Amino acid sequence: MTLNSKYVETCLSPKGPRTVLTAVLVLFFGTLAAMAAPIVVDANATPCIATTAHYTTIQAAVNAAPSGATVQVCPGVYPEQVSIGTSLTLKGVTKNNQAGAVIAIPANGGVQNGGTSTFPIVAQVDITAQNVTLNNMTIDGTGGIPNSNCSVPILVGVAFEAGSSGHVTHSALLNQAVGNGPGGSNGHCGYAIQVFPAAGGLVTIDTSSIRGFGGDGVAADSPVTVKGNFIDQGLTSANLLQQGTGIFTSEASTITGNTVQHVAFGIAGGINSTGVTTISGNNISADGFGVDIYFGSGISVLKNTISGGLQNPGLTGGNVGVDVSTSGVTVQSNQIAGFYYGVLAGGGNTVSLNTITDAQVGVWPAAGNTVSGNHFYDVTTLLMN
Phi-psi region of 107 (alpha: psi -120 to 50; beta: other; left: phi over 0): alpha
Label residue 13 by pLDDT band (50, 70, 90). very low
Q: What is the mean pLDDT of the chain?
A: 87
What global pTM score does this model have?
0.88
CA angle (288 as vertex; 283, 294 as ends), nearest 5: 90
Q: Can you tell me the mean pLDDT for 356-365?
A: 95
User: Taking 50 as the threshold, does the pLDDT of residue 233 lie above it?
Assistant: yes
In tens, the pLDDT along 235-264 reads: 655 555 557 899 999 999 999 999 999 898
- Contact call for residues 286 and 308 (beta carbons, < 8 A): yes
pLDDT band at 180 (very low <50, low <70, confident <90, very high): confident
Query: Which residues is 6 bridged to in the sheet?
Result: none
Q: Residue 186's pLDDT is what? A: 64
Q: Which domains does the chain have, with CATH numbers?
A: 42-235 (2.160.20), 252-385 (no CATH)
Write out the DSSP string of 135-185: ESEEEE-TTSSTT-TTPSSEEEEEEE-TT--EEEES-EEE---EESSGGGT
Average pLDDT of the residues in 367-371: 94
Contact in structure between 338 and 356 (CB atoms under 8 Å): no
CB environment 144-161: b (16+ within 10 A), e (fewer): bbeebebeebbbbbbbbb
What does the pLDDT look like over 100-149, one tens digit per residue? 899 999 998 899 999 999 999 999 999 999 999 999 999 999 988 776 77
CA distance 252 to 43: 41
Alpha-carbon distance of 338 to 356, in angstroms, equals 9
Mean pLDDT of 2-18: 42
Q: Of 21-35, 45-59, 209-223, which range is least confident?
A: 21-35
Helices (H), the chain: 5-12, 16-36, 58-64
Is pLDDT above 90 for 44? yes
Neighbouring CB atoms inside 10 A of 227's CB total: 18
Q: Which comes out higher in pLDDT, residue 270 or 310?
A: 270
